[in-house]
Amino acid sequence: MAVQTPKQRIANEKFNKNIEKHRKYGKKKPTKKDQDRKLGISKTWIMVILFLLLGGGLLELLSFFL
């Protein structure tokens, strides 16, 4: 690795200060609330599964009593 000249060192320090200043305004880290709200399955598929389970249960009850 080459040795830095004083001019390069000053330029690098200025650049790093600028990067550090803007780094704190970057993307926010996800919080627990955001992770809790995010489901692994879409609402449409949840509705389909509920329809199948409840419909199947209802048909079983009807066939049991009739």
pTM: 0.43
Tokens 């809790």: give the residue: 36
What sign for the dihedral angle of Cα 36, 38, 39, 40? negative
Mean pLDDT of the 56-60 span: 95
Local confidence band at 5 (pLDDT 50, 70, 90 cut-offs) = very high
In a domain, 6, yes or no: no
In a domain, 20, yes or no: no
Chain mean position to CA 4? 41
In a domain, 52, yes or no: yes
Q: Is the pLDDT of residue 32 over 80?
A: no
In a domain, 49, yes or no: yes
In a domain, 29, yes or no: no
Local confidence band at 20 (pLDDT 50, 70, 90 cut-offs) = confident
Domain count, the chain: 1
In a domain, 33, yes or no: no
Mean pLDDT of the 12-33 span: 76
d(CA 10, CA 12): 5
d(CA 37, CA 30): 11
In a domain, 53, yes or no: yes
